[in-house]
């Protein structure tokens, strides 16, 4: 369904005001995860960068922070939502034509453009693949600007893998794109790896002296993946991690996402490993 009226870009001065967006398409990724493609009903948010997040508002229910999970031209937004609570379940259940509120974008992104000339290593665990997909899309869209692209993906079970169709396309893209997938447990018909994603990091082919790693997933997975990357010789300053623990207001006012001496919504959600790893030792509420 097309937008009603002209689309204009919202000034960044109103971060607390949600704008209405309409669901263009809803794709079921897994039993509890959906990808929504959204268009503005009227005014549009300013363009987001890979790694940033928006606050999505299910009317009458509440709002939650959700990272961008795809790059689309123009004013279209892509968000992949796993139903883990009341608000995310309401959002994940939205169908084409329904409307939600969106405000943003917020936070520090992956800054992929600063990794030009380097091998790109993407390490994703479960739904952590969602905010990393724009990294892969940006690298593939400007292929000559980067070195080898290595995508390492883990999930608990095969049925919990997301973006499976896209993964197959990426694996066939070029000789310098490698895709490796593993799951914690699987039946006898599973044709790929069984084990944790950090095992893939240890044997992946890339030049650690000239590589930048992008990592997102459960905190324990990020800690072990970072340890393996450091052991292989990738400096902590070139390992980027995304943390979204306890974000609530998105404008550094409520204090819910304070972690050590940072506010994740303002100072992150993307940090380099040297900055984030000590903070991950701080217990959540």
pLDDT at 257 (0 to 100): 87
Gap between the Cα atoms of 274 and 234, Å rounded: 12
Strand partners of residue 20: 101
Q: Does a cis peptide bond (omega within 30 degrees of 0) precede residue 105?
A: yes
Any idea what the Cα angle at residue 125 is, between residues 95 and 21, rounded to 5°?
A: 25
Q: Which domains does the chain have, with CATH numbers?
A: 19-106 (2.40.30.10), 112-280 (3.40.50.80)
Longest dimension (CA), the chain: 55
Strand partners of residue 120: 149, 212
What is the distance, to the nearest Å, from the Cα of residue 20 to the centroid of all Cα atoms in its chain?
A: 22
Structure tokens that stand for 135 in this block = 């990294």
User: In residues, how long is the chain?
Assistant: 285
Of 226, 230, 220, 238, residue with least CA distance to 280: 220
pLDDT at 278 (0 to 100): 86
**What's phi and psi for 9, nearest 5 deg?**
-80, 130
Of 284, 124, 130, residue with least CA distance to 214: 124
Q: What is the pLDDT along the chain (285 residues), one digit of tens a residue?
A: 444 444 444 444 456 789 999 999 999 999 999 999 999 999 999 999 999 999 999 999 999 999 999 988 889 999 999 999 999 999 999 999 999 999 999 999 999 999 999 999 999 999 999 999 999 999 999 999 999 999 999 999 999 999 988 877 776 556 788 999 999 999 999 988 999 999 999 999 999 999 999 999 999 999 999 999 999 999 999 999 998 777 888 888 888 888 888 899 999 999 999 998 888 776 654
Q: Are 53 and 45 in contact (CB under 8 A)?
A: no
Beta strand pairing call for 193-194 and 177-183: parallel
């Amino acid at each position: 369904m097309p937008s009603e009226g002209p689309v204009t870009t919202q000034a960044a001065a109103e971060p607390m005001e949600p704008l209405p967006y309409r669901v263009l398409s809803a794709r079921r990724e897994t039993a509890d995860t959906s990808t929504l493609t959204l268009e503005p009903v009227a005014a549009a948010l300013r363009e987001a960068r890979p790694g940033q997040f928006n606050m999505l508002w299910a009317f009458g229910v509440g709002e939650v922070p959700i990272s961008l999970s795809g790059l689309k031209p123009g004013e279209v937004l892509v968000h992949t939502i796993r139903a883990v609570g009341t608000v995310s379940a309401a959002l994940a259940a939205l169908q084409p034509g329904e409307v939600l509120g969106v405000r943003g974008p917020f936070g520090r992104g992956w800054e992929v453009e600063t990794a030009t000339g380097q091998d790109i290593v993407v390490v994703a665990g479960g739904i952590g693949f969602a905010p990393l997909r724009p990294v892969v899309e940006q690298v593939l869209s400007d292929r000559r600007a980067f070195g080898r692209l290595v995508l390492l993906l883990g999930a608990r079970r095969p049925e919990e893998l997301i973006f499976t169709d896209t993964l197959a396309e990426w694996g066939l893209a070029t000789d310098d794109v490698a895709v490796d997938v593993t799951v914690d447990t699987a039946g006898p018909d599973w044709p790929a790896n069984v084990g944790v994603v950090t095992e893939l990091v240890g044997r992946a082919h890339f030049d650690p002296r000239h590589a930048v790693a992008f990592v997102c997933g459960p905190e324990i997975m990020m800690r072990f993946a970072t340890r393996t990357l450091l052991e292989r010789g990738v400096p902590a300053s070139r390992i980027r991690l995304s943390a979204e623990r306890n974000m609530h207001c998105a404008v550094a006012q409520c204090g819910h996402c304070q972690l050590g001496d940072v506010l994740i919504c303002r100072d992150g959600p993307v940090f380099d490993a040297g900055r984030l790893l000590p903070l991950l030792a701080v217990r959540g509420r």
